[in-house]
Amino acid sequence: MVLLDGKKTSQEIKEELKIKVNQLLAEGKKVPHLAAVLVGDNGASITYVNAKVKACEYVGFDSTLIKLPADISEDDLIKKIDQLNNNDDIDGYIVQLPLPEHIDELKVTMAISPSKDVDGFHPENLGKMVLNLPCFLPATPYGIVQLLERYKIETSGKHCVVLGRSHIVGSPMSILMARKHPYGNCTVTLTHSRTKNLKEITKSADIIIAALGKTEFLTADMVKEGVVVIDVGITRVKDETKKSGFKLLGDVKFDEVSQKASYITPVPGGVGPMTIASLMVNTFKAVEMK
C-alpha cells in the first residue's frame, strides 16, 4: 500500500509556485492577490481559511481576509462581493462555505465574477469545465486530479466510483474523471443516497472517491484488492483525549481499507492540503488569464 501524501504533494506544488512568484517579482510585476470572505465563526471554516491565508504568505501572494458577522444580511454580503469584483487589485477571491442558513449560497456564488472565481463554483466555470474549456477547476476535485497525476496513477479505462453528488466535490469529480484527459478517461459511476446495491458497485471499482460526509462509511468488505481510495471526508468528532477536544475522521475506515488498497489518502494530510494547493494554482492562473 502506498500512502498518497497530500501534505508532501501540496508542499511540492507550493514550492513550484514560489519560484513562479519570484519570476514575476524579478520582472517587476505584481504578485497574485487572493481574498477570502469568512462569514460567521464556524470553527472548521476558520481553520481552513487561516490555512489558505498562510499558504498565500508561503508562496508569496498577497492576501486579504474579510471577516463578516454571522448575522450579515444577504444584500450586504452581495454588496461586499460587488466591491471585490470591482477591486482591480484583487485577482481572485473565495467565499468560504457553508454560509449561515439565511443566506442563499447559490445567489452568492452567482454574484462572484467568473474571472475571479478561483473556487470554480460559478455556473460559467462549471459549464466550461463540462465543455473542457479553459476555466478554474473546483479546488478539491482539482487537488485530487493533481494527486493522482503526481503519483502517476493510471486512470484510463478504469472504473471510478464516486460516493456523493455535492456541487463542490462529487458532481464535478465525476465529470473530471470521465473527461478526455491523461488523468481522466475513466468509466464513472456517481452514487448517492438513493443508489441501490452500493456494495456491488464499490466492489467493482478500481478507484473510489468517497465524498459523502459520513464518517468511516467505506469498509473493507465494500472494496476489492488493489483499489485506489481517495477520502474527501473530514468530520470533527469529539475526542476528550485531544488538546483540541476533537479528532478528524474521514469517510473511509482507514485501518481496514488500507489493508486492501494499493493507494490511499490519509485524513488529515490527504485531500485537505491538496484543496489549498489547488486554490493557490488557480489564483496564479487568475493573473495569467488577465
Q: Is 97 among the residues that bind ligand L34 (CB under 6 A)?
A: yes
Q: Is 48 among the residues that bind ligand L34 (CB under 6 A)?
A: yes
**Nearest distance, CB of residue 143 and ligand L34, angstroms:** 9
Options 17-25, 84-92, 191-199, 273-281: segment touching ligand L34 (CB under 6 A): 273-281
Q: Are strands 263-264 and 92-95 parallel, antiparallel or unpaired?
A: unpaired
Options 18-26, 46-54, 68-76, 78-86: segment touching ligand L34 (CB under 6 A): 46-54
Could you write out the DSSP letters of every residue in the chain? Answer: -EE--HHHHHHHHHHHHHHHHHHHHHTTPPPPEEEEEEES--HHHHHHHHHHHHHHHHHT-EEEEEEE-TT--HHHHHHHHHHHHH-TT--EEEEPSPPPTTS-HHHHHHHS-GGGBTT--SHHHHHHHHTT-S-PPPHHHHHHHHHHHHTT---TT-EEEEE---TTTHHHHHHHHHSSSTT---EEEEE-TT-SSHHHHHHT-SEEEE-S--TT-B-GGGS-TT-EEEE---EEEE-TTSTTSEEEE-SB-HHHHHHH-SEE--SSSSHHHHHHHHHHHHHHHHHHT-
Options 20-28, 176-184, 187-195, 271-279: segment touching ligand L34 (CB under 6 A): 271-279
User: Using the rule CB under 6 A, which residue among 94, 129, 208, 257 binds ligand L34?
Assistant: 94
Tell me how many residues contact ligand L34 (CB under 6 A).
Answer: 19
Which member of 52, 80, 253, 285 is catalytic? Answer: 52
Q: Is 119 a catalytic residue?
A: yes
The residues in 208-237 that bind ligand L34, with binding defined as CB under 6 A, are 234
Q: Is 269 among the residues that bind ligand L34 (CB under 6 A)?
A: yes
Q: Which is nearer to ligand L34, 48 or 206 (CB)?
A: 48
Q: Is 52 a catalytic residue?
A: yes
Measured CA to CA, the distance from residue 245 to residue 271 in angstroms comes to 22
Q: Is 188 among the residues that bind ligand L34 (CB under 6 A)?
A: no
CA distances from 139 to 41, 97, 118, 261 (A): 22, 13, 8, 25
Q: Is 139 among the residues that bind ligand L34 (CB under 6 A)?
A: yes
Measured CA to CA, the distance from residue 230 to residue 267 in angstroms comes to 10
Q: Is 40 among the residues that bind ligand L34 (CB under 6 A)?
A: no
Options 90-98, 128-136, 198-206, 223-231: segment touching ligand L34 (CB under 6 A): 90-98
Q: Is 273 among the residues that bind ligand L34 (CB under 6 A)?
A: yes
**Nearest distance, CB of residue 114 and ligand L34, angstroms:** 15
Q: Is 119 among the residues that bind ligand L34 (CB under 6 A)?
A: yes
Q: Is 96 a catalytic residue?
A: yes
Q: Which is nearer to ligand L34, 100 or 269 (CB)?
A: 269
Residues that bind ligand L34 in the complex, under the rule CB under 6 A: 47-48, 51, 94-97, 119, 139-140, 234, 248, 267-269, 272-273, 275-276
Catalytically annotated residues = 52, 96, 119
